[in-house]
Structures are given as structure tokens and as C-alpha cells.
Structure 1
Amino acid sequence: MTRVHSTPSRPRSRPAWLALSIALIGIGLVWRLVPLGLPRFALKYGGSLLWASMVYSLSAALLPRWSIAATATVAGLVALSIELLRLYHQPWLDAFRLTLPGALLLGRIFSPWNLVAYAAGIRAAAWCEWLIARRNLPYRQPPA
């Protein structure tokens, strides 16, 4: 028996992806706000990786019929846009960035290393979805 290697024809489950987004938000808040004794590198970039995975899961929830690659591209563009927004300064925006929600949503300082962490988080989320989708594909009999 062989597996079908095309993308599944059914759309993603929005409730499942929204639930995953909420779970990632919770994990990310614990990661960033609870003193877990993590090394600074893991604390900083692990949080960015979780944030990017959450951006992917929200994109998947909003775009249930889009391919994994297209969803990853959208998530990457959102993450890139938010990182580039850190280069833009207005008093009201800088004041928001100084609040906890502003720091968690937008961050405070531009860093190209964040882009690497975002790419890793989006890639990991997309890879996990691909593995699950591949595993759930129906079996077909090979042609005789």
C-alpha cells in the first residue's frame, strides 16, 4: 500500500487552530513572565519562536483552505511586518510598546535575530501540520 502525497482536500478545523493559538499564548506568557530559570538565550528566542508559532496557528485558523506553504508565507509576512514596525517610532506607539501588552505583541527593539527565531517557529509549526496531515491521508491501493 502507498500513501497519497497530495494535500488533503478538507479544510483545517478553525476551532482546533484557535485552541492551539490560545494554548501557545498561554505557554508563551508562562515562558516570558514566570521565572522558570531558563537561560537568557532560551528565554528570549524561545519566546519569539512560540510567538511565531502562534502567528502561524492564527493564520491557519483564518485561512483554513490555504496550503501549508501559503499559510507559512502569510505568517512570515505578518511576523516580518511586526518586526519592521519596531523601526517606526511615534510617541503613542512607543508609549504602547512600554506596556506589557505592547512589549508582548509588538516588542520594543528591532533585531534581525528575531527574524531567525520567527522563521524557525513558523517552519516548526508548518512542519508539524505537514506531518499530521500526511499521517491522516487515506491509504490507496497501488495500481495493478
Structure 2
Amino acid sequence: MMDIRPLRRVVLALFAIVIIAIGLTTRLPGVAWPPIFAKCLGSALWGVMVYCVVAWLRPGWHLARVALAASCVAVAVELSQLWHPAWLDAFRATRMGVLLLGRFFAWADIVAYLVGIGAAAATDAALRAR
């Protein structure tokens, strides 16, 4: 039986790159996304990206385990926004910091992350079934 994990990792990496590119468009000032849509879509896509990274790191894991781990990472990152040491706030003030960690805690972001992770897990399940 062929080990599909190397191929899975390539597909996940490519998918993550596409998701990041789409997600970045939600934060571009010249793109005319409605602000609330851009915020929710960007957060959901961030959740998808976290799912892809966890699945890439652990290609042999069952998708429920990947989804749970990705959810824990996403919630932990959002909760970290309640913690404000100077060094972390300095990183959050950079473009990379705000894209990776965000600045302000919001329950709505957690919901959007979980929706994105759920959509990624559903897509993963459908692809695995094929």
C-alpha cells in the first residue's frame, strides 16, 4: 500500500499558500470588501490556514484530531490577545504580528476560526473519501 502522506503534505502546503493569498486580500486597503465581511472571512480563512498547518505537521492524524488541535491553537492565539507584555505588543504592532496574532480579543473571531476549521475538516473528509 502506498504512503500518501508526502503527497498530502504537498497538497496541504499549496492549499495553505492559496488560503494565505486570499486571506491577505481581505486586509488590503484597496480591495472593496465590506468591512464586516472582510473581518469574518479573514478570520475564517486564518482558521483554515491553522488547520492546514496542523494537518501538514501531522499528516497521519485523523481529521477530528487535526481539527481539535487546530481549534486549540486558534483559541489560544485569540486568548493571548488578553495578555499584553511589551515585547508581545511590539510584535503585534508589526504587519506580521497583527496577521499572525491579531491585536484585540473578540469572541466573534473565535467563532469565525471555528467555522473555518470546520469547513477545512469537512473539505478534508470529502477529499479523503475520494
Structure 2, unmatched stretches of 5+, are none
Match of 2:13 among 10, 15, 18: 18
Greater helix fraction, Structure 1 or Structure 2: 2
Aligned to 1:67: 62
- Aligned to 2:84, the other structure's residue is in SS state coil
Aligned to 2:98: 103
Identity of aligned residues (%): 41
Write out aligned runs for 1:1-144 (5 A): 10-11=4-5, 13-134=8-129, 136=130
Structure 1, unmatched stretches of 5+, are 1-8, 137-144
Kindly provide the CA deviation profile for residues 23-73 of structure 1, in whole angstroms up to 9, marking residues without a partner as x. 111111122125221111111110000011000011111110001100000
The answer on whether the counterparts of 1:86 and 1:106 sit within 8 Å (CA) in structure 2 is: yes
| Separation (CA, whole Å) in 2 of partners of 1:60 and 1:109 | 27
Higher normalized contact order (CA 8 Å, seq sep 6+, divided by chain length): 1
TM-score by length of structure 1 reads 0.83
**CA-atom RMSD in angstroms:** 1.4
| Separation (CA, whole Å) in 1 of partners of 2:58 and 2:47 | 16
- Aligned AA (2:83): Y
Larger radius of gyration: 1
Which stretch of structure 1 is more off in the superposition, 70-79 or 23-32? 23-32
- The 4+ residue runs of structure 1 with deviation greater than 6 A are none
TM-score by length of structure 2 reads 0.92
Kindly provide the CA deviation profile for residues 88-142 of structure 1, in whole angstroms up to 9, marking residues without a partner as x. 11111111111111110100000011010001000000001111112x1xxxxxx
The number of equivalent residue pairs is 127
| Separation (CA, whole Å) in 2 of partners of 1:78 and 1:99 | 21
